[in-house]
Amino acid sequence: MPYSKNTITSTLLAFILMIFCYSMEAQTVSGRVTSSESNEPLVGASIRIQNTNQGTVTDADGTYVLSGVQPGDSLIYSYIGCIEVRLSYQGQSQLNIQLSSDDRLLDEMIVVGYGSQKRSSITGAVSMIKSDEITSTPALRIEQALQGRMAGVQVSQSSGAPGAPLTVRIRGTGTINNSDPLYIVDGVPVGGLDFLNPSDIESVNVLKDAASAAIYGARGSNGVVLIKTFNGKRNQEGIVQYNAYYGIQNAWKKPRLLNAREYAILSNEAHIAAGAAPLPEFANPDALGEGTDWVSAIMQSAPIYDHQLSISGGSEKSTYVISGNYFNQEGIIGGKKATFDRITARINTTHQVKKWLLLGNTLNYTWLNRDGITDNSEFNSPLIRALNIDPVTPIRKANGTFAYSPYTDTDIANPVNAIEQTFDSWTTNRVVGSVFAEAELFKGLKARSTYSIDNTFANQRRFYPKFDLSVDPVLSDAPATEKNLVNSVGFNANKWSNWQWENTLTYIFTIGKDHHLNALAGTSALLNRHYYNGGANTNLPSNKWEDAYISNTIDPIASQSSYEGADESALNSYFGRINYDFKDTYFFTATMRADGSSRFGANNRWGYFPSFSGSWIFTNDGLLDNWLALGKLRLSWGQNGNDNIGNYGYTSVISSGQNYVFGPGEVITNGSVALGASNPDLKWETSTQTNIGLDLDLLSGRMQVITDYFVKKTSNMLYAIPVLSTSGTAAPVQNIASAINKGWELAAYLKSRPTSALQYNIGGNLTFIHNEVTDLGTGGEPINTGRIQSANSTVARTDVGHPLASFYGYVTDGIFQTQDEVANHAFQSEGTSPGDIRFKDLNQDGVIDVNDRTYIGNPIPKITYGLSGNAAYRGFDLSLFWQGTYGNDIYNGSVRYDFTYVNRPQSALERWTGPGTSNTQPRVSLNDPNQNARVSDRFVEDGSYLRLKNIQLGYTLPSKLMQKVAIRELRLYISAQNLLTFTGYSGMDPEIGVVGSPLELGIDKGFYPQSRIWMAGVNLKF
């Protein structure tokens, strides 16, 4: 962050020097060029005499000698990343110049597809964050660092479990298909970012509009995230950086559930309501007391820590960075059984081999280990079990072994034991790297060739130990989920080997004085290959994880299962781009990409994706007003595709192994059939996006406002619609639907004057998105998704005229207070009684049935926003970062209402017990004949939240003191993540990303909540 600005401007310095030295003849001037921030010498800074070829560069001490200077000449001091200083030479023999770093926002270099541009010349909609923002919050994964930082980029947790992926949506959910953006790291397309160490990243640029992303053609429609990793600087002495933090994670909220006494009271009522005798052991509920707090039993404090070491630097012709990182996080649910471990190592180098030839590489190795406990499952996650198991059952029996619940059965097993019995470990080794050569063929024309690989080797080992919670193991009285009488071992191995070869030609030239052109042409070939194998067997004598290998099992080889297979996809592309600007004022860009994808049938193999964009800097007419330093208008249009479907979707594959048994010897005989349907007409989906934007630089560049309005239409959306069982097959992928996303984005930034002692900056962004399905193809039938077990029905519906995956169900209308009210209302069910929920008869046909459902909620936020503030004063720094959503709903499916005997939230105490007792909480009944648990607005809650994602207080030790011990910088900090959350949502966490299917949004099935983390850290540089 630019809080450390405290400088005398170079021009002022030059002016002072000018007074002392004055002469008229051609002279020699020497001096030193240093950084105004650090006082360190700037090596390789250039000094030129304007309008001549004369010039020099500074040496390793930052000193220079320039001869042949005449008084009155204009000297230009420049250095990459610093503000140029021009001064009129007045005959001095010595000129020491300080350059200050250039953080004027419009002159930032923005990484775009296959190149970079100054922000001022950007015509599309691109957002960027830089390393200081990424590392300002200790980010566990790079996606977290993007959350709330950029307008139009929505990031949410898909689980709070360590190492869980995040959901990233650029300009809304563009498609009912996979809406994940395309990730390009140093030019390499990668699937997922879990391998990256956030500290290695220099910048993240997000191409939001179609015109910017069109250069990525068939893969660009969900936006493109371009990540650039650090490299060293030339002529820079090695800098060693060590960063570390340690933190403790805790639950920020615990649900309030019934205690044993309350549970028993409700159980008794439920039995009586269903005409059954109450359980004798619940005759005196008061005797049961508090009972077991299952949620506390499965949650704990868990550590999180990170160590990061990097060395970077460069010689005259080479640069390097070497870094290593170790990260470890345990889960607040599952503890060590939910550990995420990551080791990364990186080497990036560049070498100027010839004057015209630059070679370089990036190489990243990552080792990941993720021990998974089941999360986000309404069937068997520890959390859903803890929320639903009765509080009467103790965790352990008197003899110390785990107890099972005699009341809850089937899914709801003892969660503490379930965690204990979980052994599920993913280990990943991944190498992502590239080599490139760039040749300047003649001035302005560069050819670049890049070959890259992304090889991932991922293994999963699972062990299901033998256990039996039976009171009497001989009788084996425990229900099926509370015992496993034969242990088993399973192993899966996956290898993803992807390579890409890209070749580009760039030609930068000027016609006349004012017409600047930059032309790009390129080709790309990409091959993805996935190879997998695995096996399983039963009966391991030792029942220990350490021994859990298939070869240690004693069941015969004949019982082992094994499999092996592979699949491939290929992409071949040609692309081109022309950037043109007139007088640095009018900008125009046109791009075209042709993509051929193996995922589509031969009929639809090639797609063509054009874009056009332009911008106008309307303040370049010399009217540089102090309050408006720069104003720019942008307009763009483009088309992108999405090929995020599985391989071979156009054809149907015959599956063997659909066997039957024939003959007296019971011979297993092969049967084969296609389990899925084919679609030979399959093609990419297309999104067309128009963007209009306005950039304003105010208050001498201290304030920036960027706003964009966009309309994004997606058509031919690919989706395997859930099909009726009459198909007899799994659903085929079809090009069936269209949707529109309209939105408005605003980002603003304000920072303090560089000279003020108190340095501060405030940034904020705001995104309004409206999403609507406009067409659902042939038949136009709505898509029902998001099945939840507690209602045994789907919750979400995607239909024309409504947002994607909107909640769809019955509308409640209070509680029947009397039998008369039941009789006078539309027929709901035979068993409907007073105390049951009254559902609205929307079609007024006198019967409550599926035709009485309607749209009852929208999981997509109307507004997402982020707000950051940083302040620094005399070595202290404080930062706050807030993030939130507004206007989204959550369907709370975390209570298994399909089991009428499981535990309930405290709100169940407000139940109806007689006329007038409640108009919101229905009576309790063992058999729920009225289906009070059916999908209805009763379970739809406002999911808006505002969260203090991070607050951090740091102190940088005085540099004078540190220099004595040869330390460049030492900073200590404490920080808290998720310290405050404001939400009306009753569940454990309102921040719920996509879980499972892309059309399952905002459905809480026992969501693994994010933790509150207290941490302390150190940044050391020498």
Partner 1 sequence: MKKHIYKILFLTTPFLFSCGKDFLDKKPIIGVTSDNFYKTEEDAIAAINAAYAALQFELSPAGHFRWFWGDIMSDDSEKGGSGDNDVVELYQLEHFQGPVNTDLLDAEWNADYEGIYRANVVLEKVPSIEMDEALKARILAEAKFIRAWFYYNLNTMFGGTPLVDKVLAPSEYNLPRADAATIWAFIEKDLQEAIIDLPLKSQYSQKDLGRITKGAARSLLAKAFLYQRKYADALVQTQEVIHSGEYSLVPDYGTIFTQAGENNSESVFEIQYMNASGGNWGKNAANEGTFTNVFTRARGQFAGYGFNIPTQDFVDEFFKEGFEDPRLKYTVFRLGDQMGDRGIFTLANAGDVGYIYHPRKYFSNLSEDAPFGDPNPNGGSNDRVIRYSDVLLMDAEAAFQTGNEDAARASVNIVRKRVNIAEVTASGQQLIDAIYHERRVELGLEGHHFFDLVRTGRAAKELGPLGFKEGINEVFPIPNSQIVLSNGVLKQNPGY
- Which listed residue (2, 834, 887, 929) binds partner 1 by CB under 8 A? 929
Q: Is 892 one of the binding residues for partner 1 (CB under 8 A)?
A: no
Question: In 220-257, which positions are buried (b, 16+ CB within 10 angstroms) versus exposed (e)?
Answer: bbbbbbbbbbbbbbbbbeebebebbbebbbebbbebeb
Rounded distance, CA 302 to CA 318, Å?
43
Secondary structure letter of residue 195 according to DSSP: T
CB of 490 to partner 1, least distance (A): 10
- Which listed residue (21, 311, 359, 437) binds partner 1 by CB under 8 A? 437
Rounded distance, CA 903 to CA 194, Å?
37
Whichever of 263 and 1008 has its CB closer to partner 1, that residue is 263
Whichever of 18 and 359 has its CB closer to partner 1, that residue is 359
What HEC string does 65-101 produce?
Answer: EEEEECCCCEEEEECCCECCEEEECCCCCECCEEECE
Whichever of 47 and 536 has its CB closer to partner 1, that residue is 536
- Which listed residue (26, 441, 624, 909) binds partner 1 by CB under 8 A? 441
Residues 565-594 binding partner 1 (CB under 8 A) are 565-572
Counting Cα atoms < 13 Å in the Cβ hemisphere of 238 gives 8
CB of 482 to partner 1, least distance (A): 10
CB of 294 to partner 1, least distance (A): 18
Rounded distance, CA 363 to CA 350, Å?
12
Whichever of 50 and 562 has its CB closer to partner 1, that residue is 562
Whichever of 787 and 904 has its CB closer to partner 1, that residue is 787
Residues 85-104 binding partner 1 (CB under 8 A) are none
Residues 603-632 binding partner 1 (CB under 8 A) are 605
Q: Is 899 one of the binding residues for partner 1 (CB under 8 A)?
A: yes
Q: Is 449 one of the binding residues for partner 1 (CB under 8 A)?
A: yes
Judged on CB neighbours under 10 Å (0-12, 13-18, 19+), 574 is: middle
Are the beta carbons of 294 and 415 closer than 8 angstroms?
yes
- Which listed residue (512, 556, 622, 801) binds partner 1 by CB under 8 A? 556
Whichever of 597 and 936 has its CB closer to partner 1, that residue is 597
- Mask: binding to partner 1, 716-755, rule CB under 8 A, as x and -? -----xxxxxxxxx--x-x---------------------
CB of 486 to partner 1, least distance (A): 6
Whichever of 226 and 412 has its CB closer to partner 1, that residue is 412
Rounded distance, CA 165 to CA 370, Å?
12
Are the beta carbons of 898 and 792 closer than 8 angstroms?
yes
**Total residues at interface with partner 1 (CB under 8 A):** 110
Secondary structure letter of residue 258 according to DSSP: -
- Which listed residue (281, 290, 584, 781) binds partner 1 by CB under 8 A? 781
Q: Is 284 one of the binding residues for partner 1 (CB under 8 A)?
A: no
Residues 14-33 binding partner 1 (CB under 8 A) are none
What is the token pair recorded at 843?
A: 């079609």
Residues near 807 by Cβ (< 8 Å), separated by ≥ 6?
Answer: 795, 796, 797, 855, 856, 857, 858, 859, 889, 891, 935, 940, 1002
CB of 981 to partner 1, least distance (A): 35
Are the beta carbons of 927 and 900 closer than 8 angstroms?
yes
Are the beta carbons of 938 and 860 closer than 8 angstroms?
no
Q: What is the amino acid identity at position 423?
A: F
The stretch near partner 1 (CB under 8 A) out of 35-43, 103-111, 281-289, 439-447 is 439-447
CB of 906 to partner 1, least distance (A): 23
Whichever of 492 and 678 has its CB closer to partner 1, that residue is 678
CB of 577 to partner 1, least distance (A): 18
- Which listed residue (325, 425, 538, 978) binds partner 1 by CB under 8 A? 538
Residues 955-984 binding partner 1 (CB under 8 A) are none
Q: Which residues pair with 227 in a beta bridge?
A: 185, 204
Q: Which residues pair with 431 in a beta bridge?
A: 365, 455
Residues 467-526 binding partner 1 (CB under 8 A) are 474-477, 479-480, 485-486, 488, 501, 503, 505, 523, 525
CB of 655 to partner 1, least distance (A): 6
- Which listed residue (177, 597, 817, 950) binds partner 1 by CB under 8 A? 597
Are the beta carbons of 638 and 611 closer than 8 angstroms?
yes
Q: Is 51 one of the binding residues for partner 1 (CB under 8 A)?
A: no
Rounded distance, CA 450 to CA 439, Å?
12
- Which listed residue (2, 596, 701, 996) binds partner 1 by CB under 8 A? 596
Rounded distance, CA 93 to CA 75, Å?
13
Residue 975: CB atoms within 10 A of its CB come to 22
Residues 839-858 binding partner 1 (CB under 8 A) are 849-851
Whichever of 728 and 915 has its CB closer to partner 1, that residue is 728
Residues 235-264 binding partner 1 (CB under 8 A) are none
Residue 564: CB atoms within 10 A of its CB come to 10
The stretch near partner 1 (CB under 8 A) out of 67-75, 304-312, 492-500, 562-570 is 562-570
What is the token pair recorded at 594?
A: 């042709």
The stretch near partner 1 (CB under 8 A) out of 201-209, 239-247, 330-338, 646-654 is 646-654
- Mask: binding to partner 1, 652-671, rule CB under 8 A, as x and -? xxxxxxxxxxxxx-xxxxxx
Residues near 559 by Cβ (< 8 Å), separated by ≥ 6?
Answer: 537, 538
Rounded distance, CA 222 to CA 860, Å?
16
Residue 672: CB atoms within 10 A of its CB come to 11
Residues near 102 by Cβ (< 8 Å), separated by ≥ 6?
Answer: 81, 82, 83
Whichever of 674 and 967 has its CB closer to partner 1, that residue is 674
Whichever of 503 and 854 has its CB closer to partner 1, that residue is 503
- Specify the 3-state DSSP secondary structure of 178: coil
Whichever of 122 and 536 has its CB closer to partner 1, that residue is 536
The total number of residues written for the chain in this structure: 1022
Q: What is the amino acid identity at position 667?
A: V
- Which listed residue (4, 268, 585, 678) binds partner 1 by CB under 8 A? 678
Whichever of 447 and 762 has its CB closer to partner 1, that residue is 447
Rounded distance, CA 282 to CA 390, Å?
12
Residues 371-430 binding partner 1 (CB under 8 A) are 407-410
Whichever of 50 and 727 has its CB closer to partner 1, that residue is 727
